[in-house]
Amino acid sequence: MAKADYIPALRFEFLTRFYDPLVRYSTREFAFKNALLKQANLNENLKILDLACGTGTLSITVKKKFPKIEITGYDVDDEILKIARRKARIAHAEIDFEQGFSDDLPFKNETFDRVFSTLFFHHLTLERKHRTLKEILRILKPHGEFHLADFALPRNKSQFVLSKWIRLIDGFETTHDNLRGRLLALMQENGFEKVERTGYFKTIIGTIRLFKALKK
């Protein structure tokens, strides 16, 4: 994949190997990912996509809780997918990892019961956010659910100041709509139903908000 066309996990490829320890503490990773999984009411019979899975932490957590669940981790970056595959092997977690762009998914219509996306949308330009949301809707089954957690509207003034870190790291253009509080409206504009904010986590680099959205 052309590297110029996407922002790697920590913006610069050479930082990817430090992703897990940095994200664990700076984003309260386990707390917000477990909250997102809880709101998705998972069971063994579901087919799941972890979109822009990064190092695969969420996919592996799911697989440990539900060993028979069918889960695909998808990301554009082959370097981070190597880390994800290695972690999954060590955890004895059978996960199908695939590579590609989020706005051109290689899956048939109505394939998945749940799609998860964590710390990802702030990597996308507005145009790519729209295209990616359309793709998610296409590959979800009817009544399927989309669960998103990402940096979003800062909860208060100090969170607003701290969220400048995420602008600095991942760039003004892609973080702009997130931090203006536009994620919910974007999901509605692209055809999702019953879009709701389900929670928030204050972190040292800004507010992470959780959302749930349905396909009719």
Q: Pick one of 8, 144, 154, 206: the residue that binds ligand SAM (CB under 6 A).
A: 8
The 10 Å Cβ neighbour count of residue 194 is 12
Closer residue to ligand SAM, CB minimum distance, 15 or 216: 15
Give the pairing type, strands 193-203 and 206-214. Answer: antiparallel
**Cα Rg of the chain (Å, integer):** 16
Judged by CB under 6 A, the residue of 49, 119, 186, 205 near ligand SAM is 119
77 binds ligand SAM (CB under 6 A): yes
Question: Within the chain, how many helices (H) and strands (E) appear?
Answer: 9, 7
Backbone angles phi, psi at 37, to 5 degrees: -65, -40
Print the binding letters for residues 23-62 with ligand SAM: x by CB under 6 A, - otherwise.
x----------------------------xxx--xx----
Take residue 116 and report the two structure tokens written for it: 């998860």
- Sites for ligand SAM among residues 154-193 (CB under 6 A): none
Q: Which one, 104 or 157, has the nearer CB to ligand SAM?
A: 104
Starting from the edge strand earliest in sequence, which strands make up the sheet with 96-99, in order? Answer: 96-99, 70-75, 47-51, 112-118, 140-151, 206-214, 193-203
Min dist. Cβ of residue 216 to ligand SAM (A): 25
Which residues of this protein are in contact with ligand SAM, per CB under 6 A? 6-9, 23, 52-54, 57-58, 75-77, 80, 101-102, 118-120, 123
